[in-house]
Amino acid sequence: MQWKQAACGQTSDRVKIKVIKEGPGHIGRTIDACCKDPSQMVFAQALLDKALEDYFLIQLAMLANTKVNAYVTIAAWEKTGLRLPVEKTTCGSWARPG
């Protein structure tokens, strides 16, 4: 819990970089935690945008909250105002999750 609070609050770049280096599980949970605080949406969006260079949206959402389906998490993130990319489906067409 402490790392979520640190990552979402006024923190140094070093702490923010540490969240990214710890992988998609930490990134997903940090984005999820930040979505619960409207004042952290700028950070959550920046973290999501940066993480999408290395990970898929579904991967981040799957690890963000293991108690719910990844698409539930994605829908919750979208509802808070995060700009989410469309993802390519296995049949080759583009679709928005949810």
Structure confidence at residue 31 (pLDDT): 93
Confidence of residue 61 (pLDDT cuts 50, 70, 90): very high
Cross-strand pairs, 87 = 95
Question: Which among 13, 12, 14, 59 is positioned nearest to 31, based on CA atoms?
Answer: 59
pLDDT for position 85? 86
| φ/ψ bin of 56: left (φ > 0), alpha (ψ from -120 to 50), beta (otherwise) | beta
| DSSP category for residue 40 | G
Provide the residue range defining the domain that includes 31.
2-95
Question: Domain count of the chain?
Answer: 1
What's the N-to-C CA distance of the chain in angstroms?
28
Tell me the pLDDT band of 22, cut-offs 50, 70 and 90.
confident
